[in-house]
Protein backbone atom coordinates (compact mmCIF):
# COMPACT_ATOMS: atom_id res chain seq x y z
CA UNK A 1 0.00 0.00 0.00
CA UNK A 2 1.90 2.98 -1.26
CA UNK A 3 0.35 6.24 -0.27
CA UNK A 4 1.52 9.76 0.35
CA UNK A 5 0.99 11.32 3.72
CA UNK A 6 0.10 15.00 4.04
CA UNK A 7 0.23 16.79 7.35
CA UNK A 8 -1.03 20.34 6.93
CA UNK A 9 -0.15 22.73 9.74
CA UNK A 10 -2.90 25.23 8.99
CA UNK A 11 -6.51 25.26 7.92
CA UNK A 12 -5.58 26.82 4.59
CA UNK A 13 -3.02 24.12 3.94
CA UNK A 14 -5.61 21.50 4.72
CA UNK A 15 -8.05 23.01 2.24
CA UNK A 16 -5.30 23.42 -0.34
CA UNK A 17 -4.30 19.77 0.04
CA UNK A 18 -7.84 18.65 -0.67
CA UNK A 19 -8.25 21.07 -3.58
CA UNK A 20 -4.95 20.16 -5.17
CA UNK A 21 -5.48 16.46 -5.07
CA UNK A 22 -9.09 16.82 -6.04
CA UNK A 23 -8.03 18.55 -9.25
CA UNK A 24 -5.58 15.77 -9.98
CA UNK A 25 -8.39 13.30 -9.53
CA UNK A 26 -6.68 11.56 -6.67
CA UNK A 27 -8.76 10.03 -3.95
CA UNK A 28 -8.05 11.23 -0.50
CA UNK A 29 -8.33 9.66 2.92
CA UNK A 30 -8.98 11.95 5.86
CA UNK A 31 -6.76 10.08 8.26
CA UNK A 32 -6.90 12.87 10.78
CA UNK A 33 -10.65 12.73 10.96
CA UNK A 34 -10.94 8.98 11.09
CA UNK A 35 -11.04 7.37 14.49
CA UNK A 36 -7.40 7.72 15.38
CA UNK A 37 -8.05 5.89 18.56
CA UNK A 38 -4.52 4.94 19.33
CA UNK A 39 -3.09 8.40 18.96
CA UNK A 40 -0.38 9.46 16.60
CA UNK A 41 0.67 6.00 15.58
CA UNK A 42 -2.47 5.32 13.61
CA UNK A 43 -4.13 1.99 14.03
CA UNK A 44 -3.24 -0.13 11.01
CA UNK A 45 -6.96 -0.66 10.54
CA UNK A 46 -7.16 2.92 9.41
CA UNK A 47 -4.47 2.51 6.80
CA UNK A 48 -6.92 1.90 4.07
CA UNK A 49 -5.30 3.99 1.39
CA UNK A 50 -4.88 2.46 -2.00
CA UNK A 51 -1.99 3.12 -4.33
CA UNK A 52 -1.87 6.75 -5.30
CA UNK A 53 -4.16 7.90 -2.53
CA UNK A 54 -3.33 10.73 -0.20
CA UNK A 55 -3.46 10.32 3.55
CA UNK A 56 -4.47 13.53 5.21
CA UNK A 57 -3.41 13.73 8.83
CA UNK A 58 -4.31 16.42 11.34
CA UNK A 59 -1.25 15.57 13.43
CA UNK A 60 0.22 19.06 13.09
CA UNK A 61 -3.08 20.88 13.38
CA UNK A 62 -3.02 21.11 17.16
CA UNK A 63 -3.64 23.45 20.03
CA UNK A 64 -6.39 25.13 21.97
CA UNK A 65 -7.68 28.16 20.08
CA UNK A 66 -10.10 29.67 22.60
CA UNK A 67 -10.89 28.67 26.12
CA UNK A 68 -12.59 30.90 28.61
CA UNK A 69 -13.52 28.75 31.57
CA UNK A 70 -16.39 31.00 32.67
CA UNK A 71 -17.99 30.46 29.26
CA UNK A 72 -17.92 26.64 29.58
CA UNK A 73 -16.88 26.29 25.94
CA UNK A 74 -13.57 25.29 24.42
CA UNK A 75 -12.31 25.55 20.84
CA UNK A 76 -9.36 23.47 19.69
CA UNK A 77 -7.78 22.27 16.47
CA UNK A 78 -8.72 18.82 15.29
CA UNK A 79 -5.34 17.22 15.88
CA UNK A 80 -5.25 18.17 19.56
CA UNK A 81 -4.99 15.03 21.68
CA UNK A 82 -8.01 14.45 23.92
CA UNK A 83 -5.57 14.08 26.79
CA UNK A 84 -4.29 17.65 26.29
CA UNK A 85 -7.82 19.01 26.24
CA UNK A 86 -8.69 17.11 29.36
CA UNK A 87 -5.63 18.46 31.18
CA UNK A 88 -6.50 22.05 30.27
CA UNK A 89 -10.10 21.59 31.40
CA UNK A 90 -9.07 19.87 34.65
CA UNK A 91 -7.09 22.94 35.67
CA UNK A 92 -10.40 24.77 35.83
CA UNK A 93 -12.42 21.97 37.38
CA UNK A 94 -14.11 21.14 34.07
CA UNK A 95 -14.30 18.14 31.78
CA UNK A 96 -15.69 16.87 28.49
CA UNK A 97 -19.14 15.62 29.48
CA UNK A 98 -19.34 12.89 26.83
CA UNK A 99 -16.30 11.25 28.39
CA UNK A 100 -14.29 10.41 25.25
CA UNK A 101 -13.32 6.81 25.69
CA UNK A 102 -9.84 6.69 24.21
CA UNK A 103 -7.53 9.25 25.77
CA UNK A 104 -4.96 8.73 23.03
CA UNK A 105 -7.36 9.85 20.31
CA UNK A 106 -7.39 13.27 18.75
CA UNK A 107 -10.29 15.68 19.10
CA UNK A 108 -11.12 15.34 15.40
CA UNK A 109 -10.98 11.57 15.62
CA UNK A 110 -13.24 11.48 18.67
CA UNK A 111 -15.84 13.69 16.97
CA UNK A 112 -15.68 12.02 13.57
CA UNK A 113 -15.95 8.58 15.17
CA UNK A 114 -18.73 9.81 17.43
CA UNK A 115 -17.55 7.81 20.40
CA UNK A 116 -18.63 8.54 23.95
CA UNK A 117 -17.50 6.82 27.13
CA UNK A 118 -19.28 5.53 30.21
CA UNK A 119 -19.89 9.12 31.41
CA UNK A 120 -22.39 9.70 28.60
CA UNK A 121 -25.04 8.09 30.80
CA UNK A 122 -25.24 11.31 32.84
CA UNK A 123 -25.05 14.21 30.41
CA UNK A 124 -25.15 12.85 26.86
CA UNK A 125 -23.02 11.85 23.91
CA UNK A 126 -20.79 13.64 21.43
CA UNK A 127 -23.77 15.02 19.48
CA UNK A 128 -25.01 16.81 22.58
CA UNK A 129 -21.86 18.89 23.05
CA UNK A 130 -20.54 19.87 19.61
CA UNK A 131 -21.38 23.53 19.07
CA UNK A 132 -19.33 24.62 16.09
CA UNK A 133 -16.93 23.20 13.54
CA UNK A 134 -14.49 24.59 11.03
CA UNK A 135 -14.08 22.00 8.32
CA UNK A 136 -13.21 21.35 4.71
CA UNK A 137 -15.63 19.48 2.46
CA UNK A 138 -14.87 17.38 -0.60
CA UNK A 139 -14.81 20.50 -2.79
CA UNK A 140 -11.98 21.85 -0.66
CA UNK A 141 -14.21 24.62 0.69
CA UNK A 142 -13.44 25.98 4.14
CA UNK A 143 -16.74 25.97 6.04
CA UNK A 144 -17.67 27.36 9.43
CA UNK A 145 -20.78 25.79 10.88
CA UNK A 146 -22.70 26.31 14.09
CA UNK A 147 -21.87 29.00 16.63
CA UNK A 148 -19.45 29.14 19.53
CA UNK A 149 -22.20 29.63 22.10
CA UNK A 150 -24.08 27.01 24.09
CA UNK A 151 -27.38 27.59 22.30
CA UNK A 152 -27.94 28.20 18.61
CA UNK A 153 -30.72 27.46 16.13
CA UNK A 154 -29.42 29.37 13.09
CA UNK A 155 -28.75 27.47 9.89
CA UNK A 156 -28.64 23.72 9.42
CA UNK A 157 -26.92 21.77 12.18
CA UNK A 158 -23.81 20.69 10.28
CA UNK A 159 -21.76 20.23 13.45
CA UNK A 160 -24.14 17.43 14.48
CA UNK A 161 -24.02 15.92 10.98
CA UNK A 162 -20.24 15.65 11.23
CA UNK A 163 -20.46 13.69 14.49
CA UNK A 164 -19.85 10.09 13.47
CA UNK A 165 -19.22 11.05 9.84
CA UNK A 166 -15.89 9.13 9.77
CA UNK A 167 -14.24 11.58 7.41
CA UNK A 168 -16.78 10.76 4.69
CA UNK A 169 -18.33 14.23 4.48
CA UNK A 170 -15.43 16.50 5.31
CA UNK A 171 -12.21 16.95 7.23
CA UNK A 172 -12.48 18.61 10.62
CA UNK A 173 -10.03 21.42 11.31
CA UNK A 174 -11.41 22.99 14.46
CA UNK A 175 -14.14 22.06 16.93
CA UNK A 176 -15.97 24.02 19.64
CA UNK A 177 -17.40 21.97 22.48
CA UNK A 178 -19.63 22.71 25.41
CA UNK A 179 -18.01 21.57 28.63
CA UNK A 180 -19.33 21.07 32.17
CA UNK A 181 -18.02 21.24 35.71
CA UNK A 182 -16.13 18.12 36.78
CA UNK A 183 -17.90 16.34 39.65
CA UNK A 184 -16.10 17.07 42.90
CA UNK A 185 -16.43 13.67 44.49
CA UNK A 186 -16.94 10.43 42.62
CA UNK A 187 -17.66 7.17 44.30
CA UNK A 188 -18.28 3.80 42.71
CA UNK A 189 -19.52 0.38 43.65
CA UNK A 190 -20.07 -3.01 42.13
CA UNK A 191 -23.34 -4.85 42.51
CA UNK A 192 -22.87 -8.53 41.83
CA UNK A 193 -25.99 -10.40 40.83
CA UNK A 194 -26.20 -14.15 40.52
CA UNK A 195 -27.28 -14.19 36.90
CA UNK A 196 -27.74 -12.12 33.77
CA UNK A 197 -31.50 -11.69 34.17
CA UNK A 198 -31.23 -10.24 37.68
CA UNK A 199 -28.45 -7.89 36.65
CA UNK A 200 -30.48 -6.74 33.64
CA UNK A 201 -33.53 -6.13 35.80
CA UNK A 202 -31.33 -4.11 38.15
CA UNK A 203 -30.09 -2.02 35.23
CA UNK A 204 -33.65 -1.29 34.11
CA UNK A 205 -34.68 -0.38 37.67
CA UNK A 206 -31.84 2.11 37.94
CA UNK A 207 -32.68 3.67 34.58
CA UNK A 208 -36.28 4.19 35.65
CA UNK A 209 -35.34 5.61 39.02
CA UNK A 210 -34.71 9.32 39.54
CA UNK A 211 -31.11 8.55 40.54
CA UNK A 212 -28.63 10.57 38.50
CA UNK A 213 -25.71 8.29 37.80
CA UNK A 214 -22.29 9.26 36.45
CA UNK A 215 -21.69 5.74 35.24
CA UNK A 216 -23.73 2.57 34.77
CA UNK A 217 -22.00 -0.38 33.12
CA UNK A 218 -23.12 -3.96 32.93
CA UNK A 219 -19.88 -5.90 33.06
CA UNK A 220 -19.21 -9.60 32.68
CA UNK A 221 -22.62 -11.16 32.84
CA UNK A 222 -24.01 -10.36 36.16
CA UNK A 223 -22.36 -7.29 37.63
CA UNK A 224 -23.37 -3.66 37.53
CA UNK A 225 -20.66 -1.08 37.96
CA UNK A 226 -22.20 2.17 39.18
CA UNK A 227 -20.68 5.61 39.66
CA UNK A 228 -22.06 8.57 41.57
CA UNK A 229 -20.83 12.13 41.24
CA UNK A 230 -21.54 14.32 44.24
CA UNK A 231 -20.82 17.85 45.32
CA UNK A 232 -19.39 16.56 48.63
CA UNK A 233 -18.49 13.41 50.55
CA UNK A 234 -21.34 14.12 52.94
CA UNK A 235 -23.96 13.79 50.22
CA UNK A 236 -22.25 10.81 48.63
CA UNK A 237 -22.69 8.17 51.38
CA UNK A 238 -26.50 8.29 51.65
CA UNK A 239 -26.82 8.16 47.86
CA UNK A 240 -24.72 5.01 47.68
CA UNK A 241 -26.83 3.40 50.40
CA UNK A 242 -29.94 4.31 48.45
CA UNK A 243 -28.54 2.61 45.35
CA UNK A 244 -28.27 -0.57 47.38
CA UNK A 245 -31.90 -0.26 48.45
CA UNK A 246 -33.07 0.24 44.86
CA UNK A 247 -31.13 -2.81 43.69
CA UNK A 248 -31.89 -4.96 46.70
CA UNK A 249 -28.30 -6.03 47.27
CA UNK A 250 -25.48 -4.32 49.16
CA UNK A 251 -22.88 -2.34 47.25
CA UNK A 252 -19.34 -3.60 47.00
CA UNK A 253 -17.60 -0.22 47.22
CA UNK A 254 -14.55 0.47 45.13
CA UNK A 255 -11.69 2.07 47.04
CA UNK A 256 -11.16 5.74 46.25
CA UNK A 257 -7.63 5.01 45.01
CA UNK A 258 -8.90 2.56 42.40
CA UNK A 259 -11.98 4.47 41.38
CA UNK A 260 -10.50 6.60 38.61
CA UNK A 261 -8.42 3.77 37.18
CA UNK A 262 -11.44 1.45 37.12
CA UNK A 263 -13.39 3.86 34.93
CA UNK A 264 -10.44 4.70 32.69
CA UNK A 265 -10.05 0.99 32.04
CA UNK A 266 -13.75 0.73 31.20
CA UNK A 267 -13.53 3.71 28.84
CA UNK A 268 -10.61 2.16 27.00
CA UNK A 269 -12.36 -1.24 26.89
CA UNK A 270 -9.45 -2.88 28.74
CA UNK A 271 -11.86 -5.43 30.16
CA UNK A 272 -12.50 -6.63 26.59
CA UNK A 273 -9.08 -6.09 25.05
CA UNK A 274 -6.26 -5.94 27.63
CA UNK A 275 -3.42 -3.55 26.87
CA UNK A 276 -1.11 -5.01 24.25
CA UNK A 277 -3.74 -7.52 23.13
CA UNK A 278 -5.69 -5.33 20.73
CA UNK A 279 -5.42 -7.89 17.97
CA UNK A 280 -9.08 -8.66 17.51
CA UNK A 281 -11.94 -6.46 16.45
CA UNK A 282 -13.60 -4.05 18.83
CA UNK A 283 -17.14 -3.10 17.90
CA UNK A 284 -19.51 -0.45 19.17
CA UNK A 285 -23.23 -1.20 18.86
CA UNK A 286 -25.79 1.61 19.22
CA UNK A 287 -28.24 -0.05 21.55
CA UNK A 288 -31.17 0.60 23.82
CA UNK A 289 -31.86 -1.21 27.10
CA UNK A 290 -34.82 -3.19 25.76
CA UNK A 291 -32.65 -4.89 23.14
CA UNK A 292 -29.96 -6.10 25.53
CA UNK A 293 -31.39 -9.61 26.12
CA UNK A 294 -31.69 -10.34 22.38
CA UNK A 295 -28.16 -9.21 21.68
CA UNK A 296 -26.86 -11.02 24.74
CA UNK A 297 -28.30 -14.31 23.47
CA UNK A 298 -26.39 -13.98 20.20
CA UNK A 299 -23.13 -12.88 21.78
CA UNK A 300 -23.24 -15.58 24.43
CA UNK A 301 -23.64 -18.31 21.85
CA UNK A 302 -20.67 -16.91 19.93
CA UNK A 303 -18.67 -16.56 23.18
CA UNK A 304 -17.62 -13.01 22.35
CA UNK A 305 -16.63 -10.74 25.21
CA UNK A 306 -19.06 -7.86 25.64
CA UNK A 307 -20.12 -5.07 27.96
CA UNK A 308 -23.33 -3.07 28.03
CA UNK A 309 -22.16 0.47 28.53
CA UNK A 310 -23.64 3.86 29.45
CA UNK A 311 -26.89 2.45 30.78
CA UNK A 312 -27.38 0.22 27.78
CA UNK A 313 -26.96 2.92 25.12
CA UNK A 314 -23.94 1.07 23.77
CA UNK A 315 -22.67 -2.49 23.60
CA UNK A 316 -18.94 -3.01 23.23
CA UNK A 317 -18.00 -6.33 21.69
CA UNK A 318 -14.57 -7.89 21.26
CA UNK A 319 -14.27 -10.45 18.48
CA UNK A 320 -10.95 -12.24 18.89
CA UNK A 321 -8.64 -12.67 15.91
CA UNK A 322 -8.09 -16.12 14.48
CA UNK A 323 -4.33 -16.00 13.96
CA UNK A 324 -3.15 -15.76 10.38
CA UNK A 325 -6.60 -16.51 9.08
CA UNK A 326 -8.05 -13.34 7.66
CA UNK A 327 -10.84 -15.19 5.91
CA UNK A 328 -12.11 -16.57 9.21
CA UNK A 329 -11.90 -13.16 10.85
CA UNK A 330 -13.90 -11.63 8.07
CA UNK A 331 -16.42 -14.44 8.34
CA UNK A 332 -16.88 -13.71 12.06
CA UNK A 333 -17.56 -10.06 11.31
CA UNK A 334 -19.93 -10.89 8.48
CA UNK A 335 -21.87 -13.16 10.84
CA UNK A 336 -22.08 -10.37 13.39
CA UNK A 337 -23.11 -7.95 10.62
CA UNK A 338 -26.03 -10.22 9.69
CA UNK A 339 -27.12 -10.63 13.30
CA UNK A 340 -27.04 -6.90 13.92
CA UNK A 341 -28.94 -6.22 10.71
CA UNK A 342 -31.63 -8.69 11.73
CA UNK A 343 -31.94 -6.91 15.08
CA UNK A 344 -31.93 -3.50 13.28
CA UNK A 345 -28.97 -2.37 15.38
CA UNK A 346 -26.31 -0.04 13.91
CA UNK A 347 -22.68 -0.72 14.76
CA UNK A 348 -19.14 0.40 14.04
CA UNK A 349 -15.85 -1.49 13.92
CA UNK A 350 -13.59 0.64 16.07
CA UNK A 351 -10.53 -1.61 15.92
CA UNK A 352 -9.91 -4.29 13.34
CA UNK A 353 -6.38 -4.22 12.01
CA UNK A 354 -6.52 -7.87 10.99
CA UNK A 355 -9.61 -7.60 8.85
CA UNK A 356 -9.74 -7.72 5.10
CA UNK A 357 -9.61 -4.52 3.06
CA UNK A 358 -13.32 -4.37 2.27
CA UNK A 359 -14.28 -4.33 5.93
CA UNK A 360 -11.54 -1.89 6.83
CA UNK A 361 -12.81 0.53 4.21
CA UNK A 362 -16.36 0.22 5.46
CA UNK A 363 -16.35 -0.03 9.24
CA UNK A 364 -20.12 0.17 9.67
CA UNK A 365 -22.03 -2.99 10.51
CA UNK A 366 -25.68 -3.91 10.87
CA UNK A 367 -28.53 -1.49 10.41
CA UNK A 368 -27.93 1.75 8.50
CA UNK A 369 -30.94 3.98 9.06
CA UNK A 370 -31.24 6.95 6.73
CA UNK A 371 -28.74 5.85 4.11
CA UNK A 372 -30.93 7.29 1.35
CA UNK A 373 -30.73 10.70 3.01
CA UNK A 374 -27.02 10.32 3.67
CA UNK A 375 -26.34 9.53 0.01
CA UNK A 376 -28.02 12.79 -1.01
CA UNK A 377 -25.94 14.74 1.50
CA UNK A 378 -22.76 13.08 0.29
CA UNK A 379 -23.51 14.16 -3.28
CA UNK A 380 -23.60 17.78 -2.14
CA UNK A 381 -20.54 17.77 0.09
CA UNK A 382 -18.33 15.42 -1.87
CA UNK A 383 -19.83 14.82 -5.32
CA UNK A 384 -16.60 13.59 -6.89
CA UNK A 385 -15.79 11.10 -4.17
CA UNK A 386 -12.59 12.85 -3.11
CA UNK A 387 -13.20 11.61 0.43
CA UNK A 388 -13.80 7.94 1.21
CA UNK A 389 -17.13 6.56 0.00
CA UNK A 390 -20.07 5.87 2.28
CA UNK A 391 -20.32 2.40 0.83
CA UNK A 392 -24.01 2.69 1.39
CA UNK A 393 -25.24 2.93 -2.16
CA UNK A 394 -23.83 2.04 -5.54
CA UNK A 395 -23.85 5.69 -6.63
CA UNK A 396 -22.13 7.16 -3.58
Partner 1 sequence: MATPPRTQPLLEALETHFPPARLLRAPAQLVPYESDGLTAFRARPQAVVLPETREEVIEIVRLCHRFAVPFVARGSGTSLSGGSMPIEEGIVIGLNRLDRILSIDPIDRVAVVEPGVINLDVSEAAAVHGLTYAPDPSSQQVCTIGGNVAFNSGGAHCLKYGMTANHVLGLEAVLADGEVVRLGGNSLEAAGPDLVGFFCGHDGLFGIVLEITLRLIPTPEHQQTVLAAYRSLEAAGHAVATVVGSGLLPAALEIMDRHILRAAEAAVGVRYPPEAAAVLIVELDGEHDAVEADFARLESLMQKTGASSLRVARDADERAQFWKGRKSAFSAVGRLSPQYLVQDGVVPRTRLAETLVAIEALSEHYDIPVANVFHAGDGNLHPLILFGDDDRLAEAEALAAEILALCVRLGGSITGEHGVGMEKRAHLPDMFGPEDLAMMAALRRALDPLEIANRGKMFPGGEAPALSSRGPHPLEIAGIASRE
The contact mask relative to partner 1 for 327-356 (x = CB under 8 A, - = no) is -----------------xxxxx--------
Beta strands, E only, the chain: 4-6, 28-29, 54-56, 64-68, 73-77, 94-95, 130-137, 142-146, 170-178, 180-181, 185-192, 215-219, 223-230, 252-253, 281-286, 305-309, 314-319, 346-351, 364-366
Q: Which residue, 204 or 265, is less far from partner 1 as judged by CB?
A: 204
Q: Which residues within the stretch 104-123 sit at the binding site for partner 1 (CB under 8 A)?
A: 114, 116, 120
Among 1, 12, 87, 152, binds partner 1 (CB under 8 A): 152
Give the x-and-dash track for 252-291 against partner 1 (CB under 8 A). Answer: --------------------------------xxxxxxxx
CB closer to partner 1, 81 vs 170: 170
Q: What are 305's strand-pairing partners?
A: 318
Q: How far apart are CA 348 and CA 164, in angstroms?
A: 10
Give the pairing of strands 28-29 and 346-351. unpaired
Q: Residue 325 Cβ, how far from partner 1 at the closest point, in Å?
A: 26
Contacts to partner 1 from residues 309-328, by CB under 8 A: 310, 313-314
- Measured CA to CA, the distance from residue 211 to residue 148 in angstroms comes to 32
- Shortest distance (Å) from residue 284 CB to partner 1: 6
Closer CB to partner 1, 242 or 300, in the complex: 242
Considering only residues 5 through 64, tell me which ones interact with partner 1, judged by CB under 8 A. none
Spatial distance between the Cα atoms of 137 and 378, rounded to a whole number of angstroms: 10
Of residues 142 and 305, the one with the C-beta less far from partner 1: 142
**How far is the C-alpha of 313 from the C-alpha of 217, rounded, in Å?**
10
| Positions in 198-257 near partner 1 (CB under 8 A) | 204, 207-212, 230-232, 234-235, 238-239, 242
Report the alpha-carbon distance of residue 109 to residue 167 in Å, rounded: 9
67 in contact with partner 1 (CB under 8 A): no
Amino acid sequence: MTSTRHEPATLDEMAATIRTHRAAGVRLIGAGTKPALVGHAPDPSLQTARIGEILLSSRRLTGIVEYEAAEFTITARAGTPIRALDDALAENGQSLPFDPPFAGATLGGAIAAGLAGPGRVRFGGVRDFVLATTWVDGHGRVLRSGAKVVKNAAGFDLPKLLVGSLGRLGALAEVTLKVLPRPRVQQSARFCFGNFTSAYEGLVRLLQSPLELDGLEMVEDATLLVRLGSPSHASSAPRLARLGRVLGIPPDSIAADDEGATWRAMAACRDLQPEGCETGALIKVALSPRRIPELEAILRSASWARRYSAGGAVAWIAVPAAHYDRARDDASLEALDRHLASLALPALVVRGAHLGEARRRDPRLGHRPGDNLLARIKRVLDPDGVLPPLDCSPTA
